[in-house]
Chains A and B, each alone.
Chain A
Amino acid sequence: MRVYQFTEQAYYPAWKDHAGSLRINLPNSKLDPTTAGELFNRYYDEWQVADDIGLDIMLNEHHQTATCLSSTVVVGLSIMARITKKARLLVLGYPLGHRPDPLRCAEELSTIDVVSGGRLDMGFVKGVPYEFPASNQNPVGVMDRLWEAHDFILKAMSHRGEPFNWEGEYFHYRQVNIWPRPIQQPHPPLWSTTNSKNNAYALGEKGYVIATLGSGYGTRPLYDAYRQGYYKTHRKAPGADRFAYLGLVAVAHDESEARRRGDLIADYLRTSAIVHIPYRNPPGYLSIEDNAKILKGFKQPRGTAKDGRPVDIYTCSVQDLVDAGILFCGTPDQVYKQIVEFCEYCGGMGNLLMMGQAGYLNHADTVDNLTLFAKEVMPRLQAWKQSVAEVAAA
């Protein structure tokens, strides 16, 4: 199993000073640039620690938000490419749906791959709903645009010889010939996220790594849809390395200390949904059928515990988060068992995207959290032989 350390790089000093929205329309007067600089450097330091102790690294970006300072993930990736030595550098996600210029994307990502010595993993995503008003890219048709950008970037990275031409539905280039081209051939590995079975199936067909974020004990149906799509094109079951799961992790020698850390990390969930209501569902982001359900007042359940009990992950207790497979929390032994149990439920899961820092968890606690995990949990996970689920009948 690989373990990627992830933090949203929050600007938590603004978390208690908002008028119902931490994203998009929270005025940037709430941000002190000097403090932002200190936080960025602290988070980079923690990723450097992660590299030193054998963890991989995951970065992302969001826009106009106190929940995530990283609005240009290429900057964080560039710094990581330079200051770390061994860690894989996963960008998840790189929001193609918000990007007007995939040529620039191909150039940025190839450069990261080259500078890092071929350590980049590319997680292409459409982007979160509330950021379409910020990027002003049309949420209607975003999946078509995403797949055209994806096709273009892979072609730009893998093409050799004379410059090529691209006159698509959304993007237009001529004389395409990117410098540098990536070290990893034909292109760095691809990942994506989804919480829909249709998209999971499509990712399976392509064989990309599927990541689900905080899907807890609702994950298995997505993975099974992936398995079916994978089987269709590969005629075999996918290995555990094709599956990734983002979970919150709080570990300490003392269980009550682990719970305290877990509670601080869970503030990520408690703040992530504080968004001006109209920005939560821009037109075209969800399907017509889902929007019709919303018109009729349907609310998507936000989490499911092991026993099937619905859990509101934005407001529930630490114990509920543990029960729902959202948070792995406790002593090293407890955390190991929770992760193994979750992987068995998933039918195999080979990439833990570990949110080992969030919100108010300070630097010393974060370093201790990561170090303890790397020393006492990860070796056991790596020694553990996962059984891999066969493909269920379609």
Chain B
Amino acid sequence: MSGTTDAHSSLVVAGVKIELIERGQGNPRARPILLLHPNIGIEPAAPVLDALAKGGRVIAPTHPGFGASQLPKGMNSIDDLSYFYLDLMEQLDLRDVLLVGVGIGGWLACEIAVKTTERIDRLVLGNPLGIKVGDRETRDIFDIWSITQPEIDALAYFDPSIAKRDYNALPEADVLAAARNREATARVAWSPYMHNPKLLARLRRIDVPVLILWGTADRIVLNSGYGRAYAAAIPGARLETIERAGHYPHIEQPDEFARRTLAFAEQKQQAKASA
């Protein structure tokens, strides 16, 4: 959270004021890239933002309830957030969106896409959560609220040192945002834990190309077949791995994450051109 207020702009959607980061706004006709952040929010200094902006105009909102974004009464599930983002895409009249989501943001991207892909060109999911794969007595996802923050970081990152924050040295707004991120994640993912039991069966509805990028050092996801199960449930989805990255491949390997994401988007452009 090195974010200061002037690094964000704000937007009101359906009466809810959220903060967002915009990059690559020079060409309004450029491909919209909507980036949905994971449980830890998104920092304006994250290199992935500029890396993605090489291939379009990046819109990286902070979900309602996270960071400094307002929380409307009753919005307490990933499903609720998915409707919020359907509204957002409609309000901004985004078309042919490259929808990118990481962690619970990947889960959110899928909850949007199973409803409609009308405004979505394709999906890139980084270590998405949200489905139930194992049996009822086997957790797919580590119980992050049963361990300390350093222990969470050790499981989530290839290199946990980059997660370290000196909260006494950060602006108060950033400390509050970190506290809100933790609470907001629990609001939407406490139980059922980090998943929607109905999502797996709905993924077949996603009718746009999907690339899943899996940071191989992710030990928050305990089930080694989780990414494969995700890919198998979405028609035509492709699963690729990213080395030296954990649960947040967009943070640990921002250039590689952006390069693969934009290359995937270009394939579509070429396919369209040759068709």
Contact = CB atoms under 8 A, between A and B. Distances in A.
Interface string A270-303: 0000001111001110001101100111000000
Nearest to A294: B179
A297 B180 CA distance: 17
Contacts of A133: 143, 145-146
Interface residues of B, number: 23
B38 to A, nearest CB: 15
Contacts of A284: 183, 186-187
A288 B182 CA distance: 9
Contacts of A291: 179, 182-183
A142 to B, nearest CB: 11
Contacts of B187: 138, 140-141, 284
A98 to B, nearest CB: 13
B148 A295 contact: no
Interface string A114-137: 000000000000000000010011
Instruction: Among A133, A292, A297, find the residue whose CB has the most chain B CB atoms closer than 10 A.
Output: A292
Interface string B185-200: 1110011000000000
A283 B152 CA distance: 14
Contacts of B182: 283, 291
Given A139-B190, A141-B76, A278-B147, A296 B175 contact: yes
B191 A136 contact: yes
Contacts of B74: 169
Nearest to A135: B191
B147 to A, nearest CB: 5
Nearest to B193: A136
Contacts of B183: 140, 283-284, 288, 291
A282 B144 CA distance: 10
Contacts of B178: 292, 295
Given A277-B148, A288-B180, A296-B175, A283 B167 contact: no
Contacts of B7: none
B14 to A, nearest CB: 19
A291 B191 CA distance: 21
B43 to A, nearest CB: 16
Instruction: Among B74, B148, B175, B179, find the residue whose CB has the most chain A CB atoms closer than 10 A.
Output: B179
A284 B179 CA distance: 9
Contacts, number: 64
Interface in A347-373: none
B191 A138 contact: yes
A292 B174 CA distance: 9
Interface in A141-175: 141, 169
A129 to B, nearest CB: 11
B176 interface: yes
Interface residues of A, number: 23
B196 to A, nearest CB: 15
B135 interface: no
A333 B186 CA distance: 52
Question: Which secondary structure dominates where chain A touches chain B?
Answer: loop
B179 A295 contact: yes
A288 B179 CA distance: 6
A282 B167 contact: no
B93 interface: no
Contacts of A283: 145, 182-183, 185-186, 190
A136 B190 CA distance: 8
B156 to A, nearest CB: 15
Contacts of B143: 133
Contact of B179 (A136, A141, A292): A292
Contact of B168 (A136, A278, A296): A296
B175 A295 contact: yes
B190 A292 contact: no
A139 B151 CA distance: 21
A139 B76 CA distance: 12
Contacts of A292: 167, 172, 175-176, 178-179
Interface in B126-149: 143, 145-148
B223 to A, nearest CB: 20
Contact of B145 (A278, A295, A297): A278
B190 A296 contact: no
B137 to A, nearest CB: 15
A324 B74 CA distance: 43
A115 to B, nearest CB: 34
Contacts of B191: 136-138
Contact of A140 (B147, B167, B176, B186): B186
B190 A278 contact: no
Given A278-B147, A296-B168, A140 B179 contact: no
A376 B125 CA distance: 72
Contacts of A296: 167-168, 175
Given A292-B176, A295-B178, A138 B186 contact: yes
23 contacts: A25-B146, A133-B145, A133-B146, A136-B191, A138-B186, A139-B186, A139-B190, A140-B76, A140-B183, A140-B190, A282-B145, A282-B186, A283-B145, A283-B182, A283-B185, A283-B190, A284-B186, A288-B183, A292-B172, A292-B175, A295-B167, A295-B179, A297-B167
Given A276-B146, A288-B179, 20 more contacts: A133-B145, A133-B146, A141-B76, A278-B145, A278-B148, A278-B151, A282-B145, A283-B145, A283-B182, A284-B183, A284-B187, A288-B180, A288-B183, A289-B176, A291-B179, A292-B167, A292-B172, A292-B175, A296-B167, A296-B168
A-B CB proximity, top 5 nearest: A283-B186, A291-B179, A138-B190, A140-B187, A295-B167
Interface of A: 25, 133, 136-141, 169, 276-279, 282-284, 288-289, 291-292, 295-297
